[in-house]
Amino acid sequence: MRILLGMAECGFTAGILLILSFFYPKHKLTTRTGLFYLSSPLANVVSGPLASALSHIHHPYIKRWQWVFIIEGAITILVALLGYYILQDHPEKCRFLSEEEKRFIVKYKRRDGTLGGSQHLSFMSVFAPEVINDLGFTSAQAQAMSALPSACGAVAILLAGRTVRVCGSHWLACSLALLTALVGSVLMVATLNVPVRILGLCLLGTGGFSGLGTSPGWNITANSQTVANSAVAAAMTVFMGSASGFVASNVFLNSDAPRFVIGHTVNVGLMALGIMACVVTRLSMGRRNKRFARQPPEFDNGFRFVY
C-alpha cells in the first residue's frame, strides 16, 4: 500500500511547481512557491494534535490508528475531486482569466523564455514526535508539541520572500536557512537540556521550511530556460526530497536516543554541503551571465540567471 501511495503522489509536487512556472514571472516565483510549500508545515501543525485527539476515540471495530487514515484519506479524496475542476494547467486554457489577461501572461512568460506549449522534511514530520517523547513527555503530549517546530516553519515560509529581499539574493537566503537548521541540529546533539532541545527543534523547523520557501522557486522555475528543464528539475528535486525519508529512517535510530548523534551528524554534514552548493551555484550563475552578456545581440534571447 505504501508503494501505491508513493506512486500516486509522486507527480503532485513536481506538477504544481511546473504549473506555477507557467503563470508567474521569475521575481514572483519564490513567494508563490513558498506559499505552496506552506501547506507542509501547516499539515504538520494540524496532524500532531489531530493524531493526539484521535488516539482517544474508542470504537468496537475500528482501531485508533485507522481513524487517522480514514479521516485524512476522506479529506484528500475531496480535495482531489475539487482540484480536478479548479486547477488550470496553462494560461492559454485558464477558464477564470479574460482573453486580455491570458495574452498578457503568455507575452511576459515567453519574454522570460520559460513558457511551454498548451516539486519533504522527513525528520520534522516523522521523527519530531519521537524526539520530543524522549525529552520526557508522553506520546500524546509529544504528538501535540510536534506542531511547534512546524509552526515556526510556517512563519519562516511566509517570510521567505521578505528574507530574499533583505539578503538581496536567493543564494544568501538559502545559505542562511541551511545555517539555521545546522545550528538546530548542533543544539540537539550538544545538550539534553529540554528547553534548549526544543529551541533546536524549532530552529530545525525554521531553517528547513525556510529553505523550502526559497530554494525550489530559485533553482527549479526561475532559472530554467525551457519548460523541459523545469519539468526535469522539479522531478529530480521531488525525487531527492522523497529519498530523504529513506535516509532519515536509517540514521535516526531508537538505539541512538535521546541525542540521536548519528542522525544529527548526517544533518549537519548535509546542511554544510548545501551551503557550499549555494556558493558554487552563485559563482557559476554569475560567470554564465557574463558569458551571455558577451554574446552578439542576434544570439541573445535575454535570459539571465537569477541569484
pLDDT tens readout for residues 232-275: 777 777 777 667 767 777 787 777 777 888 888 888 998 899 89
Instruction: Tell me which residue of 211, 197, 206 sits closest to 264, measured CA to CA.
Output: 197
pTM, to two decimals: 0.67
Cis before 258 (ω within 30): yes
DSSP state of 217: I
Query: d(Cα 188, Cα 258) in Å, to the nearest integer?
Result: 9
CA dihedral 27, 29, 31, 37 (to 10 degrees): -160
Q: Are 152 and 206 in contact (CB under 8 A)?
A: yes
Residue type, 225: Q
Q: Please state, in angstroms and rounded to a whole number, the distance separating the CA atoms of residues 213 and 127.
A: 21
Query: Which pLDDT score is estimated for 141?
Result: 57
Contact 38/158 with Cβ under 8 angstroms?
yes
pLDDT of residue 182: 92
The answer to whether the beta carbons of residues 292 and 304 sit under 8 Å apart is yes
Residue type, 23: F
b/e map of 249-263 (b: 16 or more CB within 10 Å)? eebbeeeeeebbeeb
- The answer to whether residues 133 and 142 touch, using CB atoms and an 8 Å cutoff, is yes
Q: Express each pLDDT in 185-234 by its tens digit.
A: 899 888 888 888 888 888 988 888 887 777 776 766 667 666 667 777 77
- pLDDT < 50 positions in the chain: 116-120
- Cβ–Cβ contacts within 10 Å for residue 302, how many? 8
